[in-house]
């Protein structure tokens, strides 16, 4: 019994080893779980010993069963090794105990069978375990893949997170920078806010002050409003009154013009003033009583209107041979200015006449007399820069400008255009020429301003608008320069020509639609002296004679025109000279005329003085019909 049980014990003890063997023996291909490496040589040793032993034992039993009779002498020591399961047991049975041996073999077989069964069970278990393990492996593989996928996803997320982190860091930096800027700005704004707060406080204080003042003002205003209302009423009343007064003023102005004109007419539309210049330094003093200025009917306070010339004629003698007594020649004019009379005094007398031009009456003022008698002095004045010596032209213009200024307050607007020409030997020359034309006196012609127009104009002459004294001064200076350029050694051309200063005056009262226009002419005539016909005539004198004849002719034409106008003749010989042709619109019916007869105080000029006085007396006797204002 002990021997039978021994293999069981061994089997139980070596189950693990046997199990390993069984697996390796039957399931060699499952090398993955039980590798057949040299290192595991210990495991296979058991089956090698056990396996062959079982089979050998069986074989030997079978062999023994068949060959036993043939080899009964075989030594126990030389027989095949008995199976180790039984230990040394088989060797203990005597050879003849076949039954025992058979039972041993049966027992061993039974043991093997059991073992096989156990191994099969174990095998089945292992297979199940293997399947389970495989299933687990599959599951783990799947789990691994899932995890790998998740890992990849997590990695991707991590990368994205990293990138986002980078972006966020950049953004943080940017924001920090902006924060810095904003902080600076905030500080600035805070500073500004402080400033503004201070300003606000100040303004509040001021506002309060203003409000206080406003309240005071409002109180004053309400008081004033009542006052304003009453003042408005008053103003309205005043405006009505003003309009009425304006109306009346205009009526009065028109009445003044009418009366002024009437006065001028009473004084005569053609007037003659005699002016005797003083004896100049270096000139011989005339004998006492040579020129006398008898007082007027009202005594010495009356302005003189008479002049007497005492003439001693040496050629006339008495029968006794004694020199004939001087002949007294008396002349009477509208006014006589003795040598001491100033320019202002003379102008005062013509100021009213000049003003007639503003009222729309053409005015013509002449200076007649021999060369050196004071014509230019009277018209233009003495040396420049001496205001006392200022002549009629600058004085008349200044007067007109100031009256026009006064009349502008009544709604009148005036404009003035000046021209200044010279008529020499029946040719017209512009005294206001400038540039290359200066002193050349390019061809100027007197023409009608337009077809059917009565107005005359000088072609190629400058017509300069003037509005102040300074402009007039400039023009007079230019005229002087032009005359100086034309002066020749042979003769003083200016004294041999007529200088005509024309001022076109235009006035308008827009409110009443009234217009007026008239020329003011200030004419410095050529010297009226005649050549002594008894003198021997050289070539120069002959030329001079022709020139003088031209002058005399134009002067006598002027006289004839005045006579014809005075006698209301149907034909007035305006065309006989350039001078009368140019002045035709300023002479005659609708015009006012004044002639200065300038006289030299010297005895040597007595003959010419008498000629001038006689000519002027004739003019003085002329009465030209009632003047008509050029009004529309």
Annotated binding site for ATP: 369-376
Q: How far is the CB of 494 from Mg ion (least distance, A)?
A: 6
Here the tokens at position 583 are: 């002045």
Binding site partner of 557, from ligand ADP, Mg ion, none, Cβ cut-off 5-8 A by kind: none
Q: Cα angle at 367 between 362 and 372, to 5 degrees?
A: 165
What tokens does 584 get? Answer: 């035709």
CB of 277 to ligand ADP, least distance (A): 3
Q: Which does 50 bind (CB under 5 to 8 A by kind): Mg ion, ligand ADP, none?
A: none
Among 82, 86, 304, 374, binds ligand ADP (CB under 6 A): 374
* Least Cβ distance, residue 482 to ligand ADP (angstroms): 16
Closest contact distance (angstroms) between CB of 340 and ligand ADP is 9
Q: Which position among 50, 305, 419, 495 is part of the footprint of ligand ADP (CB under 6 A)?
A: 495
Among the listed residues 51, 95, 382, 559, the single contact to ligand ADP using CB under 6 A: 382
Least separation in angstroms between residue 399's CB and Mg ion is 23
Binding site for Mg ion (CB under 5 A): 375-376
Give the Cα separation of 60 and 74 in Å (integer). Answer: 13
Q: How many Å from the N-terminal Cα to the C-terminal Cα in the chain? A: 181
Q: Which is nearer to ligand ADP, 404 or 599 (CB)?
A: 599
Q: How far apart are CA 368 and CA 597, in angstroms?
A: 5
Q: Is 222 or 388 the residue whose CB approaches ligand ADP more closely?
A: 388
Nearest to ligand ADP of 376, 566 (CB atom): 376
Q: From residue 19, how far is each of 125, 165, 387, 481 by CA, in Å?
A: 11, 60, 161, 157
Regarding 277 and contact with ligand ADP (CB under 6 A), the answer is yes
What are the C-alpha distances in Å from 155 to residues 141, 142, 145, 160, 161? Answer: 20, 19, 15, 8, 9
The answer to whether 312 and 358 are in contact (CB under 8 A) is no
86 contacts ligand ADP (rule: CB under 6 A): no
**C-beta separation of 522 from 396 below 8 A:** yes
From the CB of 529, what's the least distance to ligand ADP, in Å? 10
Pair 363, 520: CB distance under 8 Å: yes
SS3 of 166, please?
helix
Of the residues 82, 372, 507, 601, which one makes contact with ligand ADP according to CB under 6 A? 372
β-strand partners of 184 = none
CB-based burial, 412-426: b 16+ in 10 Å, e otherwise: bebebebbbbbbbee
377: contact with ligand ADP by CB under 6 A: yes
Partner whose footprint covers residue 47, from Mg ion, ligand ADP, none (CB < 5 to 8 Å by kind) = none
**Residue whose CB is less far from ligand ADP, 497 or 630:** 497
Nearest residue to ligand ADP on Cβ basis: 374
Q: Work out how close the CB of 432 gets to Mg ion at its nearest, in angstroms, rounded to a whole number.
A: 18
Contact 255, 317 (CB under 8 A): no
Comparing CB distances to ligand ADP, the nearer of 278 and 325 is: 278
Q: Which of ligand ADP, Mg ion, none does residue 356 bind to, with CB < 5 to 8 Å depending on kind?
A: none
Q: What is residue 478's three-state secondary structure?
A: helix
- Least Cα distance to 85 among 103, 111, 120 occurs for 111
Member of 369, 394, 507, 601 binding ligand ADP (CB under 6 A) = 369
Under 8 Å between Cβ of 526 and 554 = yes
Residue span binding ligand ADP (CB under 6 A) among the ranges 81-89, 348-356, 375-383, 622-630: 375-383
On whether the CB atoms of residues 227 and 235 are closer than 8 A, the answer is no
Question: Residue count at the site for ligand ADP (CB under 6 A)?
Answer: 14
371 contributes a contact to ligand ADP by CB under 6 A: yes
Residues at the annotated binding site? 369-376
Q: What are phi and psi of 341, to 5 degrees?
A: -70, 135
Pick between residue 382 and residue 439 the one whose CB is nearest to ligand ADP.
Answer: 382
Which residues form the interface with ligand ADP (CB under 6 A)?
277-278, 280, 369, 371-377, 382, 495, 598
């Amino acid at each position: 019994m002990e021997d039978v049980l021994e293999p069981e014990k061994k089997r139980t003890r070596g189950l693990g080893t046997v199990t390993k063997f069984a697996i390796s023996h039957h399931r060699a291909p499952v090398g993955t779980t039980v590798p057949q490496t040299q290192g595991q040589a210990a495991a296979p040793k058991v089956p090698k010993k056990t396996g062959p032993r079982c089979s050998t034992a069986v074989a030997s039993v079978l062999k023994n069963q068949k060959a036993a009779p043939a080899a009964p002498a075989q030594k126990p020591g030389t027989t095949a090794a008995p199976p180790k399961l039984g230990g040394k047991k088989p060797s203990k049975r005597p050879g003849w105990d076949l039954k025992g041996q058979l039972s041993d073999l049966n027992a061993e077989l039974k043991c093997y069978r059991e073992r096989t069964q156990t191994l099969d069970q174990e095998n089945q278990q292992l297979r199940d375990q293997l399947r389970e393990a495989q299933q687990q492996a599959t599951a783990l593989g799947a789990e691994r893949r899932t995890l790998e996928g998740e890992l990849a996803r997590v990695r991707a997320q991590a990368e994205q997170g990293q990138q986002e982190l980078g972006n966020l860091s950049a953004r943080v930096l940017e924001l920090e920078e902006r924060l810095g800027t904003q902080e600076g700005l905030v500080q600035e704004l805070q500073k500004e806010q402080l400033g503004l707060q201070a300003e606000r406080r100040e303004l509040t204080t001021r506002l309060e002050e203003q409000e206080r003042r406003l309240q005071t003002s409002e109180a004053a205003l309400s008081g004033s409003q009542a006052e304003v209302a009453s003042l408005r009423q008053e103003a309205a009343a005043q405006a009505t009154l003003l309009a009425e007064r304006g109306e009346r003023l205009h009526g009065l102005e028109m009445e003044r013009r009418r009366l002024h004109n009437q006065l001028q007419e009473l004084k005569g539309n053609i007037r003659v003033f005699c002016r005797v210049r003083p004896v100049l330094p270096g000139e011989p003093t005339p004998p006492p009583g040579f020129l006398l200025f008898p007082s007027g009917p009202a005594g010495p306070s009356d302005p003189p209107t008479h002049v007497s010339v005492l003439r001693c004629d040496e050629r006339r003698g008495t029968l006794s041979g004694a020199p004939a007594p001087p002949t007294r020649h008396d002349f009477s004019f509208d006014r006589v200015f003795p040598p001491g009379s100033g320019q202002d005094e003379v102008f005062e007398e013509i100021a009213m006449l000049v003003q007639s031009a503003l009222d729309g009456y053409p005015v013509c003022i002449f200076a007649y007399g021999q060369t050196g008698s004071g014509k230019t002095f009277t018209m233009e004045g003495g040396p420049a820069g001496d205001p006392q010596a200022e002549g009629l032209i600058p004085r008349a213009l200044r007067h007109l400008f100031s009256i026009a200024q006064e009349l502008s307050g009544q709604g009148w607007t005036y404009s003035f255009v000046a021209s200044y020409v010279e008529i020499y030997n029946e040719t017209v020359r512009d005294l206001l020429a400038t540039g290359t034309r200066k002193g050349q006196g390019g061809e100027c012609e007197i023409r009608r301003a337009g077809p059917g127009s009565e107005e005359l104009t000088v072609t190629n002459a400058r017509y300069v608008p003037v509005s102040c004294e300074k402009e007039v001064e400039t023009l007079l200076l230019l005229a002087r320069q032009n005359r100086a350029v034309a002066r020749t050694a042979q003769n003083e051309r200016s004294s041999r020509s007529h200088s005509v200063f024309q001022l076109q005056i235009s006035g308008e009262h827009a409110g009443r639609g009234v217009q007026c226009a008239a020329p003011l002419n200030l004419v410095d005539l050529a010297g009226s002296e005649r050549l002594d016909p008894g003198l021997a005539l050289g070539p120069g004198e002959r030329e001079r004679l022709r020139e003088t004849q031209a002058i005399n002719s134009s002067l006598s034409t002027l006289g004839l025109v005045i006579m014809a106008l005075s006698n209301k003749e149907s034909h007035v010989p305006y065309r006989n000279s350039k001078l009368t042709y140019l002045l035709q619109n300023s002479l005659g019916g609708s015009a006012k005329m004044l002639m200065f007869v300038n006289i030299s105080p010297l005895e040597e000029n007595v003959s010419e003085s008498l000629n001038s006085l006689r000519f002027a007396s004739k003019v003085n006797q002329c009465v030209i019909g009632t003047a008509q204002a050029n009004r529309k």
